[in-house]
Amino acid sequence: MSNQFCLACLMPDTGFSVCPHCGWSKDQPAGNPLYLPPGTVVQAPYQVARVLGHGGFGITYLGWDANLQIKVAIKEYLPRDFAMRDPQSREVISYDGDAKFHFVSGLQQFLDEARTLAKFQQHAGIVSVLTFFRAFGTGYMVMEYVEGETLRNYLKRGRVRLNWEQTLGIFMHIMDALRAVHAVGLLHRDIAPDNIYLCSDGRIKLLDFGAARQNLASDGRTLAIVKPGFAPEEQYRESGVQGAWSDVYSVAASMYYCLTGIVPPDAMARLNQDTLKPPSEYGAAILPTVEASLMAALSVRASQRPHTIADFQKSLLDAQPLLIEPISKPQPKTSEVPRQPLPDLRRFEEAEPDQSPLWRWLLLGGAALLLLFVAYNQLRRISFEAHRQKTEPAARIIEKKPTAVPRHTESDTEQPLQDNETISAEELRKHQEAALKRFEELHRQEQSSPTDRGKDKAYDPDRSEHLRSLCSEWGATMDCRSGASAQ
């Protein structure tokens, strides 16, 4: 590997004696003697870096492919009950006796497992095996490296429990992977939250296939290496008959843990007294029919469980009134969570265009009618205003006419108009001219008769009142002074 990277974490080398990313130093004392030191080339072009995980049958390292210049995961077969590592030569040495036989048989099955899993490189739920080989007295399996964390770490770090939809979404992916593996004659035998990997790109992977935990002894005995709470009782017994139903139990136990946050009681202890409580008693929101299917898969007796993974999947889906589309990642309750997957854009591209329902057309038609009604009322208002402006002057003239206008008749007597009678402007003008002539004629007679004028010094009140009446009713322009005529 180039000196540009830290040998332990494969991050860019900063030139410091201690890596600021992982804290590893070349001068630090050796750690666990079972681990290969960072930078060890197991077989060109592969070298190991830091340890990613350590189980009962092997160690998984972060690795580097010098040819492709990519990170890989390198799994080493090292069963801690059967072998150890020589700290000087770094060779794996098996113990004597039956342990040596088990080690050799297990190594061959480890390599057979790698050869089989290499056929599943295109399966989304299984970590791809790139190659495998023998070195340092044992076997190695080179796999794709994916960023993320185990389901167990996710639950512990966030201190959360998953709801039923989230749990089903994760384990449907896991069961799909198991169906493919079972179809070629392999069993996992170590299904648990720490072997389920939540990738940062949204994928869900099943890790650590346990082909080395098949019948290793020639007399049919089975190794009793199990995870308490997740392993069925037949994996504890040398004569136990294992099959797909064994992985069914482990899947159901892992689902139970996600729902309740509690590891189920040990299967062997349940043989004497079964203390397993339904998830609903721990507050899990789950349908009774679904809970019954889950509890059936957790039956202590293998004969009472679904026989295959497909049977278990079907029982879970049939117990639901409506299938909820599985999700690929649990919905987080904290801010620190793996990245959610991107949506499938093809689903939107292939979708048919939306057809507008009838109510939308009715709504549009109603809006159009409303606009027409408003426009019609506006036009009527404008037309009415124009008509009113034309007729208003004439109306004001009519309103100023007197309600009763006297009219001069042939008998020269002035009779007032009746309430329902009207006269035109021309008639009114003629009446005014006639009244003015009569007044002037009367005035000339007074001027020509001295006798009568002398008498007029006291002025006749009846005649004075008559003059004022003429002035008021006809709007005469002469000087209408009280008690005297115009001079």
Q: Is the pLDDT of residue 12 over 80?
A: no
Based on the fold, state whether residues 161 and 225 are members of the same structural domain: yes
Helix H or strand E segment including 377: helix 358-399
| 191 and 91 share one domain | no
Judgement on whether residues 96 and 109 belong to the same structural domain of the protein: yes
Question: What is the band of 368 on the pLDDT scale with cuts at 50, 70, 90?
Answer: confident
Pairing mode of beta strands 196-199, 58-65: unpaired
Residues 249 and 323 placed together within one structural domain of the fold? yes
- Average of pLDDT values for 135-161? 93
The answer on pLDDT for 285 being more than 80 is: yes
> Do 152 and 242 sit in the same domain of this protein?
yes
Instruction: Answer whether 10's CB lies under 8 Å from 71's CB.
Output: yes
Q: Is the peptide bond before 45 cis (omega within 30 degrees of 0)?
A: yes
The DSSP bridge partners found for residue 317 are none
DSSP 137-169: TEEEEEEE---EEEHHHHHHHHT----HHHHHH
| pLDDT for 60 | 92
What is the residue whose two structure tokens read 């007029």? 456
Identify the pLDDT of residue 247. 96
What confidence category does residue 445 fall into, taking pLDDT thresholds of 50, 70 and 90?
confident
Last residue of a domain, one of 302, 317, 342: 342
Helix (H, G, I), strand (E, B) or coil at 317: helix
Q: Which two tokens stand for residue 198?
A: 């939540």
Residues 136 and 11 both lie in one domain: yes
Pair (49, 128) in one structural domain? yes
Name the percent of the chain lying above pLDDT 90. Answer: 43
Report the C-alpha gap between 326 and 168 in whole angstroms.
6
Within-domain flag for 384? no
Which of 31-45, 78-92, 247-261, 334-348 bottoms out in mean pLDDT, i.e. has the lowest? 334-348
Residue 237: per-residue pLDDT: 87
- 140 and 176 in a common domain: no
Q: Are 330 and 197 in the same domain?
A: yes
Structural domain tally of the chain?
3
Residue 30 sits in a domain of what CATH number?
3.30.200.20
141 with 151, same domain: the answer is no
Same domain, 253 and 304: yes
**Which of 294, 313, 342 is the last residue in one of the domains?**
342
Would 116 be classed as within a structural domain? yes
- Which residue segment(s) compose the domain that 82 sits in? 1-145
Answer whether residue 71 is part of any domain: yes
Which tops the pLDDT comparison, 145 or 383? 145
Q: What is the pLDDT of residue 462?
A: 52
Average pLDDT, the chain: 77
Is residue 91 in some structural domain?
yes
Domain boundary among 342, 365, 397: 342
Is 80 exceeded by the pLDDT of residue 381?
no
Q: Is it the case that residue 23 has pLDDT exceeding 90?
A: no
Residues 68 and 1: their CA atoms lie apart, in Å, by: 11
Q: Within a 10 A sphere around the Cβ of 414, how many other Cβ atoms?
A: 16
d(CA 291, CA 255): 11
